[in-house]
Amino acid sequence: MTRIVIVGCGFPQLSLVRQAKRRGLFVIGADANPRAVAVAHCDAFFEVSTSDVEAVLDLVRRTRADAITTTGSEVSLKTTASVAARLGLPFYADSETVRRCQDKDAMRDAYAAAGLTVPSYARCESFEQARDFAHRTDYPLVVKPSRGWGQRGVARVENDSELDGAFGEARAHSARAGLPVVIVEEWLEGREFSVNGWIEDGRLESYCVTERVTLPGCKPLGVMIAEIAPSGLTRSDEGRVVDEARRGAAALGHMRGPCYSQVALGRRGCVLFETAARLGGGFDGDVTRLFSGVDLYDRVLGVALNDPALERQGATGPARAAAIAQFLVARPGIVRAVSGLDAARAASGVEDAQCFVPVGGRVLPLTDSAKRAGYVLVHGSSRREAMARADDALALLSMETREEPRPGASA
């Protein structure tokens, strides 16, 4: 039996682990969290940090794994690319491509050099540099780590005081990723979309464009709580969004494999915010499978298994008229009980429903995408119906939490 290490067992890897099991693979999971949602689906699990290259390298050797892969996580992606290169195992992107698709300043520079529309921005090592840019450009602005993911440390700021706090937080996030630099850029109005596709023969093919629904507010900024297909755009505008994503992938030299892009469309036209050399971490691949019939998780496995036919596999299921992945926003605290999961799964149009935090686990404030507590995956005969079904299914779910006692207080 072919043995594959999947780096990460959180919800971004859940569907990949499941698909590997359906393919008859022996799945070896690696994650720092032994209670991660995909652990129960693995044949073997090892408590290993997804950011620890040497530990994952040792794991692949010790378990005599034949393949390694991941999806949905920038941290896991960086580690997987490095380990695959050192062991001579198949992977779709090398470490340098991954770096260009993760470092926000390098990404912006590449976009600008290729003639793409990018917001005015500055690469800032000090608060004084950020403040100078703000006074030249004017508020509101967006502050983000040069190296970061999942919206960690991303905020919209309206004045110098807010900039000061946001700059320090973003710099701390970026420093932990090895580059203590902050990107400060102008705020652009517009609806946000995700382009979910695969780069074939050096050209991005889009299989699904979803509208991103994000958590209201300025901090955290841009945490996605739903991905909806169809996008709601006209065919012409959707074509513009896809073309911008295609140009961005080419500018970064991403030439093979999954590609997830975030594009805004507003009064200034299309603006590309991100190109990721992976599938989206919010079940974007699942929405794509429902909407197009194409299983991008299978394609990721095809690369790892050195199976060209699987990597280029077309539609294997019906294309639904509409699909949505929508996340549960739960009250922070220790989980006391979860109810309604079976009812949600049995509801009309529901393909899947999961709670990611077990009883006894901790729901954290939704400061970044990794803090999501659960989700439903739903299809419908129209965009409106799919959205209504998702709301109905989430209404059946209940995650009861209690506040943690303050240090020194009685429980």
Please give the share of the chain, as a percent, with pLDDT higher than 70. Answer: 94
**103 within some domain:** no
Q: What is the pLDDT of residue 218?
A: 56
Run of H or E including 322: strand 322-328
Q: What is the pLDDT of residue 408?
A: 55
Which residue range(s) make up the domain with 63?
Answer: 3-91
**What is the number of other CB atoms lying within 10 angstroms of the CB of residue 178?**
9
352 plus 393 within the same structural domain: yes
CATH (domain of 226): 3.30.470.20
Q: What is the pLDDT of residue 366?
A: 81
Residue 11 binned pLDDT confidence (cut-offs 50, 70, 90): very high
Q: How far apart are alpha carbons 157 and 166 in whole angstroms?
A: 8
Task: Quick: pLDDT tens for 259-283.
Answer: 999 998 988 789 898 899 999 999 9
Residue 411 binned pLDDT confidence (cut-offs 50, 70, 90): very low
Token pair belonging to 102:
């993760």
Token pair belonging to 225:
């709580």
What mean pLDDT, rounded, does the chain reach? Answer: 91
Residue 410 binned pLDDT confidence (cut-offs 50, 70, 90): very low
One-letter amino acid identity for 32? A
* Radius of gyration, alpha carbons of the chain: 21
Q: How far apart are alpha carbons 370 and 368 in whole angstroms?
A: 6
Whether residue 148 is predicted with pLDDT greater than 70 in this model: the reply is no
216 plus 132 within the same structural domain: no
Q: What is the pLDDT of residue 220?
A: 59
Q: What is the pLDDT of residue 125?
A: 87
Residue 119 binned pLDDT confidence (cut-offs 50, 70, 90): confident
Q: What is the pLDDT of residue 286?
A: 98
Q: Do residues 399 and 335 touch, judged by C-beta distance below 8 A?
A: yes
Mean pLDDT over residues 359-378, rounded? 88
Domain count, the chain: 4
Whether residue 222 is predicted with pLDDT greater than 80 in this model: the reply is no
136 plus 203 within the same structural domain: no
Q: What is the pLDDT of residue 109?
A: 87
Tell which residue, 195, 191, 225, has the closest CA to residue 375. 225
199 plus 144 within the same structural domain: no
Last residue of a domain, one of 186, 217, 243: 186
State the number of CA atoms in the 13 A half-sphere of 295 facing the CB. 17
Task: Quick: pLDDT tens for 78-108.
Answer: 999 999 999 999 999 999 999 999 887 788 8
Report CA-CA distances (Å) from 323 to 146, 288, 294, 385: 33, 8, 13, 9
204 plus 292 within the same structural domain: yes
Whether residue 219 is predicted with pLDDT greater than 80 in this model: the reply is no
Whether residue 405 is predicted with pLDDT greater than 70 in this model: the reply is no
Q: Scan for tokens 């630099």, then name that residue.
A: 181
**What is the number of other CB atoms lying within 10 angstroms of the CB of residue 342?**
10
341 plus 251 within the same structural domain: no
21 plus 72 within the same structural domain: yes
Whether residue 347 is predicted with pLDDT greater than 50 in this model: the reply is yes
Q: What is the pLDDT of residue 145?
A: 84
pTM, entire model: 0.89
Tell which residue, 304, 288, 280, has the closest CA to residue 377. 288
332 plus 293 within the same structural domain: no
Mean pLDDT over residues 330-335, rounded? 92
**Where do the H-state alpha helices sit in 88-234?**
95-100, 104-113, 127-137, 160-176
360 plus 301 within the same structural domain: no
Q: Which residues contact 275 (CB under 8 A, 6 or more apart)?
A: 101, 107, 245, 248, 249, 251, 252, 254, 259, 260, 261
Q: Determine which of 30-34, 67-71, 270-274 has the lowest per-residue pLDDT on average.
A: 270-274
